[in-house]
Structure 1
Amino acid sequence: MTLLVVGASGFLGAEVCRQAVAAGQRVVGTWHSAAVAVPGVAARRLDVTDRSAVRALLTEVRPDAVVATPYRYDDWTVTADGAAHVAAAAAEVGARLVHLSSDALHGGRPTPYRDDDVPTPVNAYGAAKAAAETAVRALDPGAVLVRTSLIVGEGSKQIQLCRDALAGRAALFTDELRCPVDVVDLAAAVLELVPSGYAGLLNVAGPDPVSRAELGLLVARRLGLDPAGLKTTTSLATGRQHPTEVRLDSSRAASLLRTRLRGVTELFA
């Protein structure tokens, strides 16, 4: 089996590559600004905003499956248009597509979001992720769209942000709730979905909803750092347009997958 990982130099993409290589799969991984550093991966540079380049690469590689992880927070052409280009090319060559989406397309509410809940974005990034889903579902109805949350693990941006806040170099929000998931668990779930017959939307996140500030305290406990220096703030105080309470109900994924999605209270115990 040949697996193409689009965005293989990213945090999740690299872990997907590592696990796929370990399982004996032939893996081709794309990168744009940072080279792929996973042994055993055939690295190819790709600009997902270039539709013809995406089509040419998939036509050449002819992958059995594609895992699409690329995004850029402030760039619609990468997050939305790039997803559409990958979906169109995957459908054209008959490759199974697993598209990574985000809880950022929800605006926030007190009750959990189900797998099929309609996006309610409150900022440009959330709108781009919602547009990406619309394109993928139209171009490749057989694709699985994984809505996930904050991705944690050794070397993650989320853990570094917590470290910075504990050192007073950044601030963590007390009013933004998420359901963090470990990168190893998420990558395993993604690879498990590749040979499955599942199509459509699927929440794949941890079971524990925590604020970013609470995550910072858990990181402090896990790393033996002093929590007294944790710097916090609120979205209201900063004037940022960000989703607030976004709890993903991942019970469907839990029933479908062998992979156990661990919560942060277990991960940072």
Structure 2
Amino acid sequence: MRFLILGGTGGLGAELTRQCGPSATAAGSRDADLRDPAAVRDLVRRVRPDVIVNAAYRQDDWAVTADGAAHVAVAARAHRARLVHVSSDAVFSGRPGRFDETCPPCPATMYGAAKAAAETAVRAIDPAAVVARTSLIVGGPQTVIAARVHAGGVFFTDDVRCPVHVADLAAALLELAVSRYAGVHHVAGADAVSRYELALLIAARDGLDPSGVVAGTRAAAGLSGAGDVRLDSAATQARLTVTLRGARDFLTPG
């Protein structure tokens, strides 16, 4: 089975490629501009994948995140490739609490709106595709959130998410890719933690001085958008053999 990993140069893309082994082709922005539907079609035609995992995005670029997802879905359907589209908890905002797969998107940021638009396009173009919403992705020191902890700074106590380990997420996405399931799935960790608590856990794991992790609040920083967004992944977890561990589990030595 041949896999095409879009966003293959990022942390998740690299882990997906590693788990797939030689059957995977990792493609970054230099391999195909997702804003160009012809470039996407040409890439899919060259690789001839059985499965496409779209983990590509740019937070500040609607054309890549939203339009690009539509172009990938069109190409996947035209070439009869199974599509797994990676989405985000950024599609939610508003009331704090848990969100399951039945909750409609209610984004508060342009990035969240782009992700929500991408989901709508993918589901309309390719109803057999999987749309996998995830949360903060944690791996080694090179991953985004860990790199921020190593750099030090302020981490919010009123910003709550369900972080997932990159290896667990990649394994879950590949399991969904070869399954019969379609539609929206939540693929996040079992624990709801604040960014501050997460930063302390990462600092402890990596042997960093915890004094470099400073507590703050979104409210004090004058930031809008979603503060407490907890993805409920129970329905998806029941379908998977891989365990979506919580941050307190995968970041605590033992």
TM-score between both structures, scaled by the size of structure 1:
0.90
Aligned counterparts of 1:65 and 1:228: Cα–Cα separation in 2:
45
SS across alignment from 2:75: helix
Partner of residue 30, structure 1: 27
Residues 36-70 of structure 1, C-alpha deviations (whole Å, 9 max, x = no match)? xxxxxxxxx11101111101221232211100010
Aligned to 2:59: 73
**Which residue matches 2:122?**
136
Letter matched to residue 144 of structure 2: K
Describe how 1:44-123 pairs up with structure 2 within 5 A.
45-123=31-109
Q: Is the 8 A contact 2:136 2:164 kept in 1?
A: yes
Matches of 1:177 and 1:64, distance apart in 2: 36
Structure 2 CA distance, aligned partners of 1:246 and 1:65?
Answer: 30
Contact 1:203-1:248 within 8 A present in 2 as well: yes
Is 1:190 aligned to residue 187 of structure 2? no
User: By how many angstroms is 1:211 displaced?
Assistant: 0.7
Letter in 2 for 1:145: V
The gaps in structure 2 that reach 5 residues or longer are none
Q: Secondary structure at the match of 1:244?
A: coil
Q: Which of 106, 110, 113 is matched with 1:124 structurally?
A: 110
What is the alpha-carbon distance in structure 2 between the residues aligned to residue 229 and residue 61 of structure 1?
45
Residue aligned with 2:99, SS: coil
- List aligned pairs for 1:189-208, cutoff 5 A: 189-208=172-191
Question: Shift of the alpha carbon at 1:237?
Answer: 2.2
Query: Deviation above 4 Å: which 4+ runs of structure 1?
Result: none
In structure 1, runs of 5+ residues without a counterpart are 34-44
Which amino acid letter does the alignment assign opposite residue 7 of structure 2? G
Match of 2:11 in 1: 11
Maintained 8 Å contact 1:6/1:68: yes
Corresponding position of 1:179: 162
Q: 1:81 to 1:267 in 2, by over 3 A?
A: same
> What is residue 145 of structure 1 aligned with on the other side?
131
TM-score by length of 2: 0.95
Q: What displacement does 1:108 show?
A: 4.5
Q: Distance in 1 between matches of 2:162 and 2:119?
A: 20
Q: CA deviation at 1:163?
A: 2.1
Q: 1:2 maps to what in 2?
A: 2
> Counterpart amino acid of 1:250?
S
After superposition, give the CA deviation of every residue in 1:108-137 in whole Å (9 maximum; x if it has no partner). Answer: 533310012101100100000000000000
Give the match for residue 198 of structure 2.
Answer: 215
